[in-house]
């Protein structure tokens, strides 16, 4: 069985990730290594390596593999970075980041998802990820500044606390837009002024809502 999933995973990386232009070798290796099927519900485990997002508990989703790759590549990780993730969800994206950065701080607002993700990551001997239950739109002030920030839920606008916690030279990737479709944006902080940002459009996307004081309202 493990061998079947490994085959599917190598094929996923080849046809969905490499073929679409993702060239970061460390990232490709990480996606070949992390067992995505362990982050997916038993009932839909056969779809784990499909070219699509999948439902997880609490009406949330694990992102499409290509979107995970695109967002991760945009962070330009070399192995030394401190990274903040907003929206732990299943923990899959955090597991990928754990292999590519020095330390990952991941925030999830739904306690049951955080608990499950923590358990999965520990089970894989991933110990450089800290998961906290909170409103991630405030960031994680005690651990700032971050070399990379990745928001894996759709925001109405860029939350100010996040740019404030981004290191000078750091990269922030976030889907910004309406409730149903967003634009994947990459911001690079250029100076001490948190508003001095280089902006890049990485294309259209569709994420679940970022819910919080600097995001959408819960209702
Ligand atoms: N990165 C995840 C996918 C996340 S889906 C993975 O790899 O599986 C988006 C997640 O963001 C959901 O779990 C949702 O509960 C969470 N979320 C939404 N708003 C949030 C907020 N303000 N702070 C923290 N987590 C939030």
Taking the domains of the chain in order of start, what are their residue ranges?
A: 54-205
Average pLDDT, the chain: 97
Question: pLDDT at residue 67 above 90?
Answer: yes
Q: Does residue 203 come out as left (phi exceeding 0), alpha (psi in the -120 to 50 range) or beta?
A: left
Query: What pLDDT, on the 0 to 100 scale, is given for residue 219?
Result: 77
DSSP letter string over the chain? -HHHHHHHHHHHIIIIIGGGT---HHHHHHHHHS-GGGGS-GGGGGGTTSSS-EE-GGG-EEPPHHHHHHHHHHT---S--EEEEE--TTSHHHHHHHHHSSEEEEEESSHHHHHHHHHHHHHTT--SEEEEES-GGG--GGG--EEEEEE-SBBSS--HHHHHTEEEEEEEEEEEE-SS-EEEEEEEE-SSSTT-EEEEEEEEE---B-BSTTSB---
pLDDT in tens, 4-58: 999 999 999 999 999 999 999 999 999 999 999 999 999 999 999 999 999 999 9
State percent of the chain over pLDDT 70. Answer: 99
- What is the arithmetic mean of pLDDT over 194-218? 97
For ligand 1, residues with CB inside 6 Å are 60-63, 86-87, 89-90, 92-93, 107-110, 113, 135-137, 152-153, 208, 210-212, 215
208 CA: nearest ligand 1 atom: 9
CA distance 10 to 4: 10
- What is the arithmetic mean of pLDDT over 72-77? 98
pLDDT in tens, 174-188: 999 999 999 999 999
- What is the arithmetic mean of pLDDT over 139-150? 98
CA distance 185 to 174: 5
Query: What pLDDT, on the 0 to 100 scale, is given for residue 2?
Result: 61
Residue 82 CA to ligand 1 centre (angstroms): 19
Residue 76 CA to ligand 1 centre (angstroms): 22
Of 44, 57, 60, 140, the one to substitute when testing ligand 1's pocket (max ligand atoms within 8 A of C-beta) is 60
The domain 54-205 belongs to what CATH superfamily?
Vaccinia Virus protein VP39 (3.40.50.150)
Q: How far is CA 114 from the centre of its chain?
A: 14
Query: What pLDDT, on the 0 to 100 scale, is given for residue 177?
Result: 98
- What is the arithmetic mean of pLDDT over 135-158? 98
Catalytic residue among 63, 90, 106, 191: 63
Residue 63: active-site member: yes
CA distance 165 to 137: 11
Query: What pLDDT, on the 0 to 100 scale, is given for residue 179?
Result: 94
């Amino acid at each position: 069985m493990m061998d079947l999933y490994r085959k599917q995973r190598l094929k996923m990386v080849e046809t969905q990730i490499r073929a679409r232009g993702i060239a970061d070798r460390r990232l490709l290796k990480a996606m070949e290594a992390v067992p995505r099927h362990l982050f997916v519900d038993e009932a839909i485990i056969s779809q784990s390596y499909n070219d699509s997002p999948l439902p997880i508990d609490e009406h949330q989703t694990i992102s499409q593999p290509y979107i995970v790759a695109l967002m991760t590549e945009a962070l330009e990780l070399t192995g030394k970075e401190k990274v903040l993730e907003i929206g732990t969800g299943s923990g899959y994206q955090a597991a990928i980041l754990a292999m590519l950065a020095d330390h990952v701080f991941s925030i999830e607002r739904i306690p049951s998802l955080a608990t499950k993700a923590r358990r999965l990551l520990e089970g894989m001997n991933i110990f450089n990820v800290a998961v906290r239950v909170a409103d991630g739109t405030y960031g994680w002030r005690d651990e700032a500044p971050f070399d990379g920030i990745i928001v894996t839920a759709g925001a109405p606008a860029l939350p100010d606390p996040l740019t404030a916690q981004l290191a000078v030279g750091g990269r922030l990737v976030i889907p910004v837009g309406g409730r149903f479709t967003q634009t994947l944006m990459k911001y690079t902080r250029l100076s001490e002024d948190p508003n001095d940002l280089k902006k890049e459009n990485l294309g259209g996307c569709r994420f679940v809502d970022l819910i919080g004081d600097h995001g959408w309202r819960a209702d």
